[in-house]
Amino acid sequence: MLPAAARLPEVTRLIDQKLYFVLHAPRQTGKTTALLTLAQELTAEGTYTAVLVSMEVGAAFNDDPGKAEAAILKDWRRALSWQLPPDLQPPPWSGATVGDALLEWAAASPRPLVVFLDEVDALRDEALISVLRQLRSGYTGRPRAFPWSLALIGLRDVRDYKVASGGSDRLHTASPFNIKAESLTLRNFTADEVAALYQQHTDETGQGFTPDATARAFHLTQGQPWLVNALARQLTEVLVPDPATPITPAHVDQAKELLIQRQDTHLDSLAERLREPRVRRIIEPILAGLTLENVAPDDIRFVQDLGLCRMDPAGGLVVANPIYQEVIPRVLANAPQASLPIIAPTWLTPDGKLDPAKLLEAFLAFWRQHGQPLLKSTHYHEIAPHLVLMAFLHRVVNAGGTIEREYAIGTGRMDLCVRYGEVALAMELKVWREGETNPLRAGLAQLDGYLAGLGLDTGWLVIFDRREGLPDIAERTTTEPATTPAGRSVVVVWA
What is the residue extent of each domain of the chain?
Answer: 4-185, 191-262, 333-494
- CA-CA-CA-CA dihedral for 281, 313, 266, 28, to nearest 10: -120
Please, which residues bridge with residue 311 across strands? 317
Query: How many other CB atoms are found less than 10 A from the CB of residue 419?
Result: 17
Which residues does residue 464 pair with via DSSP β-bridges, in sequence order? Answer: 431
HSE of 257 in the Cβ direction (CA atoms, 13 Å)?
Answer: 13
In angstroms, rounded to a whole number, what is the distance separating the alpha carbons of residues 488 and 301? 42
How close are the terminal C-alpha atoms of the chain, in Å?
51
Q: Give the Å distances, CA to CA, from 152 to 37, 117, 228, 291, 448.
A: 16, 5, 26, 34, 51
280 touches 311 (CB < 8 A): no
List, in order, residues 6 or more apart from 402 with CB less than 8 Å away.
Answer: 257, 418, 419
Contacts of 314 (CB under 8 A, 6+ apart): none
Helix (H) or strand (E) holding 218: helix 211-221
Q: What residues in the chain have per-residue pLDDT under 50?
A: 165-167
Which pLDDT score is estimated for 169?
62
Question: Which architecture, in CATH terms, is 191-262?
Answer: Orthogonal Bundle (1.10)
479, β-bridge pairs? 493
Note whether 15 and 181 are within 8 A (CB). Answer: no
Per CATH, the number for 4-185 is: 3.40.50.300
